[in-house]
Amino acid sequence: MRRKVITAVALTGAVLWPLIAEQQSSPGDKPSKPATKDDCCVLELPSFPAAGAASDNAKTTVIARHVEGNSKSPVRVLIYEDLQCPDCSIFRKALDERLLPRYRTSVAFEHRDFPLPKHAWAREAAVATRYFQTLGPNVAAEFRRTIQEDLDRVKSVGFRQSLIEFCRGRRLYADKALAALSNSTFAQAVEADFQAGVAAGIRRTPTVVVGGKSFVETIDVEEIQTTLDALLEGPARSH
């Protein structure tokens, strides 16, 4: 029996996420390590309504994705992530401790929001990150790092309280950060990333794409380094 595919409408009051296949598929090559763990960080059936959709009359504003490292580098690492995902938290640690120290000046690490519907606050966290990008890339990076470092703490006190604490600890306006969670421009940016990820075949987080090769869920950092070294030694080109 043929499945009905529901097309996502980005600028309506009720955005529907498309009906998708259960199996993981990723852009480029097959994943270096197929995900065989539990389904904590996999996009599930059935399709699920998206939150924070913009109104029909909303003006679309392009917000650049958050990039760490050398934003002008033709060698790019695409990171499809969910800020509530435990495996994404593990990769964040590897990014800070192993990848950025080695490749900060030569590689662009581009974050792409892929908040899973099953996660209670992942979408709000992605929206908040878009707001912090307007304050500066370092603020956005610190927010990602802070939230992902202690998921148990966020679960205990709640995401919004964690957001308030983050702002207070850095003399940022918590009321503006909370208001940003209802900002349609930021919501559109997150939704656009999510839909682009679905269209590219992303199903699990994290999915890290380097030179057309996908690393899914349990990330082999040494293999990523080998891939990056090969790309950096070859002719400069976009990936």
Model confidence pLDDT, tens digit, residues 68-103: 999 999 999 999 999 999 999 999 999 999 999 999
**How many of the other CB atoms lie within 10 Å of CB of 98?**
14
Q: Is the pLDDT of residue 157 over 50?
A: yes
* Helices (H), ranges, the chain: 86-94, 100-103, 122-135, 137-149, 151-157, 159-168, 174-180, 184-199, 221-233
User: Which of 14-28, 103-117, 120-134, 215-229 bottoms out in mean pLDDT, i.e. has the lowest?
Assistant: 14-28
Give the model confidence (pLDDT) of 44-57 as tens digits.
Answer: 744 444 434 433 34
Measured distance CA(87)–CA(36) in Å, rounded = 13
What are the backbone dihedrals phi and psi of residue 207, each rounded to the nearest 5 degrees, phi first? -120, 120
Averaged pLDDT score across all residues of the chain: 82
Cis upstream peptide for 101 (omega within 30°):
no
Structural domain includes residue 180 = yes
Pairing of strands 213-216, 108-113: unpaired
| Domain total of the chain | 1
Token readout for 126 is 């992605």
Structural domain includes residue 44 = no
Check residue 207 and report its DSSP letter.
Answer: E
Structural domain includes residue 133 = yes
Q: What is the pTM of this model?
A: 0.76
Asked if 65 and 98 count as a contact pair (C-beta separation under 8 A), the reply is no
Structural domain includes residue 24 = no
Q: Which residue has the higher pLDDT, 34 or 196?
A: 196
Q: Which residue has the higher pLDDT, 108 or 3?
A: 108
What is the structure's pLDDT at 38? 56
What is the structure's pLDDT at 61? 54
Q: Is the pLDDT of residue 183 over 80?
A: yes
What average pLDDT does this structure show over 167-188?
Answer: 97
In sequence order, what are the beta bridge partners of 215?
208
Structural domain includes residue 40 = no
Of 171, 203, 151, nearest to 35 by C-alpha is: 203
In sequence order, what are the beta bridge partners of 227?
none
Structural domain includes residue 25 = no
Structural domain includes residue 207 = yes
Which band of pLDDT confidence, cut at 50, 70 and 90, is reported for residue 39? Answer: low
Which band of pLDDT confidence, cut at 50, 70 and 90, is reported for residue 2? Answer: very low
* Residue 41: C-alpha distances to residues 38, 49, 145, 192 (Å): 8, 18, 18, 19
What is the structure's pLDDT at 41? 82
What is the structure's pLDDT at 25? 38
Give the domain extent around 108.
67-233
Structural domain includes residue 55 = no
In CATH, what number is assigned to the domain containing residue 141?
A: 3.40.30.10
